[in-house]
Amino acid sequence: MSENLPELTGAHFVGSVNAAGTESVFRLAADSCAGVLHALPDGETGERWHWMLFQGSAFENTPGLRRESDEPIDLNGFNVRPFVVEEGFDPSGLRLPELGYARAALESYALFSKLKEEGKLPGDLRFQVSLPSPVACVNAFIHHDHRTALEGPYEEALLRELAAIQEAIPHWELCIQWDLATEFALIEAPQIRGFGEQQAWFSDVLDGAVERAARLGSQVAEGVTLGYHLCYGDLDEKHFVEPEDTGTLVQVANGLLEKTGRHVDFIHLPVPIERDDPAYFAPLKDLRLPEGTRVYLGLLHREDGVEGALKRIRAAGTALPRFGVATECGMGRSPRAEMEQLFRQHQEVFDRLA
């Protein structure tokens, strides 16, 4: 390996894939890059195609909640009608129904296991389930004045989904990733024009976000791979605001590594396509990584392929000697026609550096 390049430690898929279905995702990975992946998600196809927006139906079916009005508000380009607690209903009695994450995971895991048995997927590859934080879902669907009341019940419902997943899938074969995107929108809110309803309902926003995410991570069983995807949004393949550098990402990552009540196996950080300068990566020198915790940098972009990725790899190597590669966010918003090329890009960067 060139002395000017860092050591690449593997590749990571964030979660969503623009594909016809789960089998398409698994087989495309098997044919292109499964050998460099540590875990494989099912692509979040079908109703989950746009992250957690399908969760509106769970709130719709929760006794004690109603729509605030028939007038929608704009939430990052989507029209939503927020829910509120019905007048006179005790919020402590709120119990959300099944959310759909465990059901989808078990259906996909059955196919994952079948392909492993057929020798199509590596035997040591883990099945990845990516879950949103309660902060994201409550912020998206609940009126600001009612978010404090709903955060606890939604977290309980989500942890029931996690428990069902961990009960059904062998721990040695499972990877859980917590997606933290809305947290960064709340942290960076003063810089975002037209942010509207998205305001934190808890004080000390960065510390509050870390505390909540660490609590989620502590519920992932020992033996299950635990990771966090830190995100600045991906609507129309654009961030809600461009990070000045990795400084805030490092603050959050260090907080998670310190406060999560178990070992964190990996952290994924985004890298904007135009940032191939060492200044963006310089704060990574302050990452306090325990032994065995991997970093995946989201520096693969379909627009400039392997050559662009190599530029960003070189720049990142000035701050971090070892890391893995990934796309900046999920691949669900990228054109379907480019999925095969994007999958292969994960393998090609290793081939170029071999």
Backbone φ/ψ region at 200: left (φ over 0), alpha (ψ -120 to 50), beta = beta
Does residue 14 belong to any structural domain of this protein? Answer: yes
Domain interval for residue 312: 7-54+100-353
Quote the CA–CA distance of 292 and 266 in Å, as a whole number. 8
Would you say how long the chain is, in residues?
354
Residue 66 inside a domain? The answer is no
Q: Which residue's entry shows tokens 């979660």?
A: 15
In a domain, 92, yes or no: no
Rounded to two decimals, what is the model's pTM? 0.93
User: What would the pLDDT profile of 248-299 be if each residue is shown by its tens digit?
Assistant: 999 999 999 999 999 999 999 999 999 999 999 999 999 999 999 999 999 9
**Which pLDDT score, from 0 to 100, does residue 353 have?**
85
* Cβ–Cβ < 8 Å for 229, 15: yes
Indicate whether 63 belongs to any domain: no
Sign, Cα dihedral of 196, 200, 203, 209: negative
72 in a structural domain: no
What whole-number percentage of the chain has pLDDT above 70?
A: 91
Tell me, yes or no, whether 153 lies in a domain. yes
The pairing of beta strand 65-67 with beta strand 83-85: antiparallel
* Higher pLDDT, residue 66 or 192: 66
In this predicted structure, the answer to whether residue 306 has a pLDDT above a threshold of 80 is yes
Residue 185 dihedral angles phi and psi, to the nearest 5°: -65, -40
Q: What's the one-letter identity of residue 272?
A: P
Q: Provide the token pair at 211.
A: 């505390």
| In 232-338, alpha helices (H) | 247-259, 278-281, 305-316
Q: What percent of the chain has pLDDT over 90?
A: 75
C-alpha 216/C-alpha 130 separation (Å) is: 12
- Inside any domain, residue 180: yes
Largest CA distance in the chain: 67
Tally of domains within the chain = 1
Q: What is the CATH number of the domain that holds 136?
A: 3.20.20.210
Residue 85: inside a domain: no
